[in-house]
Structure 1
Amino acid sequence: MNTTTFRIDGMHCDGCADRIRTLLGKEPGVREARVSFAEGAAAVRFNPHSVSEARLREVIETGGFNVVEMTA
């Protein structure tokens, strides 16, 4: 398992965080997604053999949010 943290711009409330959590949770290989509106970040634990960091970023951005930084 890998864990990556995405700094996210465009969240306006806890509902936005819930939406991102739901979108990430639908991806095969995602084991856990912790998303915090207050911190403006999502920490995702995932199986790198099932889903890539690039795909996770795409999921967040397709949901209408901007990934401004990614850290492993």
Structure 2
Amino acid sequence: METVTLRVEGMSCGGCEQRIAAVLGRVEGVREVSADHTTGRVGVRVGPELADPSVLTDRVEAAGFAVTGQADRQ
């Protein structure tokens, strides 16, 4: 398993964190989501079936938030 970290703009509260966690939690291959509106970071633990992390960026942006920079994979 690996972790993908996204920098997200537009999160202003715990409700935003929950919304992002719910949206990303429905993506195949996502195991765990940790969003923090104070730092603007979202950590996503993913399994090998998630071949392309751009799917995560697309889903976050479709939910009304902006992803800045590229996803960091570790």
Q: TM-score, normalised by structure 1?
A: 0.90
CA distance in 2, matches of 1:21, 1:51: 19
CA distance in 1, matches of 2:26, 2:2: 17
Residue 23 of structure 2 is aligned to residue 23 of structure 1:
yes
Alignment size in residue pairs: 72
RMSD: 1.2
Q: For residue 11 of structure 1, what is the aligned residue in structure 2?
A: 11
The runs of 5 or more residues in structure 2 that have no matched partner are none
Residue 33 of structure 2 is aligned to residue 33 of structure 1:
yes
Relative to structure 1, the CA distance from residue 4 to residue 50 in structure 2 (aligned partners, 3 Å threshold; closer, same or farther) is closer
Q: For residue 72 of structure 2, what is the aligned residue in structure 1?
A: 71
Q: Following superposition, which runs of at least 4 residues in structure 1 exceed 3 angstroms of deviation?
A: none
Determine helix, strand or coil for the equivalent of 1:68.
strand
Query: What CA deviation, in whole Å up to 9, does each residue of 1:4-50 have, x standing for no partner?
Result: 10000011211111100010011111001100111111000112423
The runs of 5 or more residues in structure 1 that have no matched partner are none
